[in-house]
Amino acid sequence: MPRILWQNTNISWLAAVVVVVVLALLWVGYRRSPLRGWRRLAATLCKLTALALLALCLLDPLWTRTQPKKGENEVVVLVDASASLDLAESVGGETRATQVQAALARGDDDASWIKALGEDFRLRLMTGGSQTKSVPHFRGLQFDGTRSDFCRTLMTLRSGGSNLAAVVVVSDGNATDFAAWKADAKGAPVFTVLAGDKAPPDDFSIVEASVATSPFEDAPITITARVTGNGKGTLQVLGEDKKPVASEKVTLSGSSAQTVRLRVPVAKSGVTFYQLAHQSEGVKEATLANNTRLLVADRGAGPYRVLYVSGRPNWEYKFLRRAIAGDDDIQMPALVRIAKREPKFEWRGKAGESVNPLFRGFGAKEGEEAQRYDQPVIIRLGTKDAKELTDGFPKAAEDLFAEFRAIILDDIEAQFFTQEQMNLIERFVSERGGALLMLGGQECFRAGGYDNTPIGRMLPVYLDQATSGPAIGDARFNLTREGWLESWMRLRSDREEDEKRLASMAAFHSVNPAFSIKPGASILATVSDAQNSYPAIAVQRFGEGRVGSMLIGDLWRWGLNDEDSHKDMDRLWRQLMRWLVVDVNDSITFASETDAADQERLKLAVRVRDRAFKANSDALVKIEVTQPDGSKSQLFAEPSLKEAGLFETEFFASKPGYYRATTTVEDAEKRTTLGTKAIGWTHDPLAMEFAKLEPNRDLMQRIATETGGQMIALDDIGDLPEMLKNIRVPVEVTLSTPLWHTPWIFIAILLLLLGEWILRRKGGMA
């Protein structure tokens, strides 16, 4: 910025004396002057100004200014060479890449603005895309990068290099790492050059797509996609074998994004990969790169074990066991009591015999280990080996937490459990994150004495309200608003068909009446008789887990109505069992998290717990990653300093396609395998690159504003040399010119004195 520097400030007193003397002489001279009015005032000002300039010259003023030192300051020109620029905004028109190339080079020569910048600055030419690299010139650029990662490049450039004066970035603004952008207060200004003006018309695009799994039997996987475009087409879901597994016709108007849901009716357990693809009908699109998305679904891999405890053999267990017999992922070991602790019958073969003769002759144990009269008679069904549950309901956290994901209580009173066992069940739900379901048997809920017990506290309904009214009979089942929103409660894809099914259901006659639910609980279904309506199915979260109550005690009546009703009841049981286990964690959990700023970088996290579900940091965690081309990488996860039992590592996905990772956890001392887990993810850089075809003006303007630069259009790129001349640069040179002997000072003094003389002559003075 130009300024005046006074060199002889030590004789400023002399200049002040000169001014005072001049003022005195002027006052004396013009006091008796015949000049009057404005002529007198103008003549006085002219002479006073001329003599003041002469006095100021005594201070030897210098006119100083700074300008960039040629060849010392650096300007980086960064050109986005990603594939999204190789796009025409109109049919048959030039692509943005062609327009950018024309603005950067003319034939075999650089553009004139690049040459002009090179005269004052030291230029560094770079291209950005999948990789950032320096180039000698911009002639013959290839716009084939699968990503536009120029935000992180700008941040790196601004933070390094003491001689960097400015950065010029040429792009359409569609950065794939826009989430990483953060402008540092210090750093060179960024001048953004926006390539492109609008989005191509009639182009179909999958804006985003997500996958959700559910226990709904007809559609275990739901793919939700937001699409834009004009015209008709077909969305297809392709499996790993490239065969379609679901499809949906779409008609788009282009006004706004449309949401489309596709349901995959058959899906295997574990990690499954899909491809969502669109085929247009009679529409020529600008690009096909945004017509596909790679997706991954994880339905988990069983077996999921559910512990069933019943106080007597009943029909609910019979139908429930038959319903899940075809589900390979669900296992239901059962403890069924066939006689209470004090049976009314006594079959004693010998005087003083205490062994229960019900088990005599069937390989029962003898002596102290035999089943006694003062113990309930319990049979074990569906156990994994001969030792499991031999002591009845588990008494230790290691036996309950590690083996089961859910517990079902049916026709069993609270006195069956010890206080320690009920506390263990409460911890199983609240700390371990398991699920608890109580069925509506005659010895459950209030009738079973669960009021004021740890189990009763977890139930979603209150048990402290007694009723003396008549028994509930001829009760009709129906879903509530919350029930219609739960996929596992619906048995038909269409609501009208489900309503017809509900209308044809059999009436129920055994209902545990509950009159209110706890805060945070939801009623999913009700039963109604001629007078009142009561909760039939209620659920709630409790700590880390969930608790459900089915207050109907004779649900089996539904299945006896007809064959279709039996199939519907079996389906409800299967979906209910899936709901119980679907969100319950195992002792080993494996997850991946993609870096929002760098889509190639993934954080792999493995959490390890022991059989009591306490954090286990004494483990060896191996991870094997299978890449899209079939090659495998071996990784070792390291213990985290932030959380006990957490092991972390990173993986860089450089190839587009499907990735599958399997972790194996071993005991560090015994080197025995504690368990394995598998996950999957996809790397689809082109989907993000072409997610938005319209130039991102907001991002380009934001970058320029936050760094002190300016955004211009590609057509105005020739103005850059003139714009950069006025910026502050790290290395400057100072130019100074003495003002006392400059021609314009001499001319100004001469004109002022001449003006004063003319005014005196006009006024009649000699």
Q: What is the 3-state secondary structure (H, E, C) of 84-107?
A: HHCCECCCCCCEHHHHHHHHHEEC
Indicate the length of the chain as a whole number. Answer: 766
169 has which bridge partners? 78, 192
Q: Which two tokens stand for residue 390?
A: 């031999």
Structure tokens at 212: 């959700």
Burial of 240 (0-12, 13-18, 19+ CB in 10 A): exposed
The secondary structure of 508-526, three-state, reads ECCECCCCCECCCCEEEEE
Reported as half-sphere exposure (CB side, CA atoms, 13 A), residue 731 has a value of 14
DSSP class of residue 202? T
The model's pTM:
0.75
CATH class of 205-298: mainly beta
Fold of 74-199+692-724: Rossmann fold (3.40.50)
* Cβ 490 vs Cβ 484: under 8 Å: yes
**CB 145, CB 130: distance < 8 Å:** yes
β pairing state of 74-80 and 164-171? parallel
CATH H-level, domain 588-684: superfamily: Immunoglobulins (2.60.40.10)
CATH code linked to domain 304-348+372-581: 3.40.50.880
Asked if 74-199+692-724 and 304-348+372-581 have one fold, the answer is yes
Cα separation, 734 vs 69, whole angstroms:
9
Q: What are phi and psi of 133, to 5 degrees?
A: -145, 155
pLDDT for the residue numbered 309: 97
* Measured CA distances, 730 to 43, 162, 187, 689 (Å): 49, 7, 11, 36
3-state secondary structure 374-394: CCCEEEEECCCCCCCCCCCCC
Contacts of 378 (CB under 8 A, 6+ apart): 335, 336, 337, 338, 392
Question: Where does 516-645 show beta strands of DSSP type E?
Answer: 522-528, 533-542, 545-550, 588-594, 601-608, 619-626, 632-639
| Cβ–Cβ < 8 Å for 147, 665 | no
Residue 7, token pair as written in the block = 């060199």
pLDDT in tens, 357-374: 555 555 545 554 455 556
Handedness of CA 113, 118, 122, 128 (dihedral sign): positive
Q: What is the CA radius of gyration of the chain?
A: 42
The distance in angstroms from the start CA to the end CA of the chain is 47
Per DSSP bridges, beta strands 133-134 and 164-171 are unpaired
Query: Rounded to whole angstroms, how far apart are CA atoms 474 and 256?
Result: 50
- Sign (positive or negative) of CA dihedral 468, 474, 480, 484: positive
Q: Do β-strands 304-310 and 334-339 pair in parallel, antiparallel, or remain unpaired?
A: parallel
Strand order in the sheet with 3-6: 3-6, 61-68, 732-738
pLDDT at residue 201 in the model? 75
| Burial (CB count <10 Å: 0-12, 13-18, 19+), residue 589 | middle
Identify whether the C-beta of residue 224 lies closer than 8 Å to the C-beta of residue 259. yes
Give pLDDT < 50 ranges for the chain: 344-345, 364, 368-369
| Residues 133, 80: Cα–Cα separation, whole Å | 11
Give the pLDDT confidence score for residue 1 in this predicted structure.
57
Query: Residue type for 264, please?
Result: V
Is residue 666 within 8 Å of residue 157, measured between CB atoms? no
List of long-range contacts for 665-672, beta carbons under 8 Å, 24+ apart:
665/588, 665/606, 665/608, 665/619, 665/620, 665/621, 665/622, 666/619, 666/620, 666/621, 666/622, 667/618, 667/619, 667/620, 668/618, 668/619, 668/620, 669/618, 671/620
Query: 302: closest CA among 405, 216, 384?
Result: 405
The closest alpha carbon to 621, from 677, 660, 659, belongs to: 677
Residue 368, pLDDT score: 47
Alpha helices in 331-440 (DSSP H): 397-401, 419-430
Tokens for 531, please give them: 């007078």
Task: Give the domain ranges of the chain.
Answer: 3-67+735-762, 74-199+692-724, 205-298, 304-348+372-581, 588-684
Q: How many angstroms separate the CA atoms of 513 and 48, rounded?
A: 108
Asked if 508 and 477 count as a contact pair (C-beta separation under 8 A), the reply is yes
Which tens digit of pLDDT belongs to each residue from 54-63? 777 766 677 7
Of the candidates 234, 393, 410, 244, the one whose C-alpha atom is nearest the C-alpha of residue 312 is 410
| 662 DSSP β-pair partners | 624, 678
Q: Are the beta carbons of 461 and 551 closer than 8 angstroms?
A: yes
Question: What is the 8-class DSSP label of residue 601?
Answer: E
pLDDT at 531: 81
| Mean pLDDT of the residues in the chain | 85
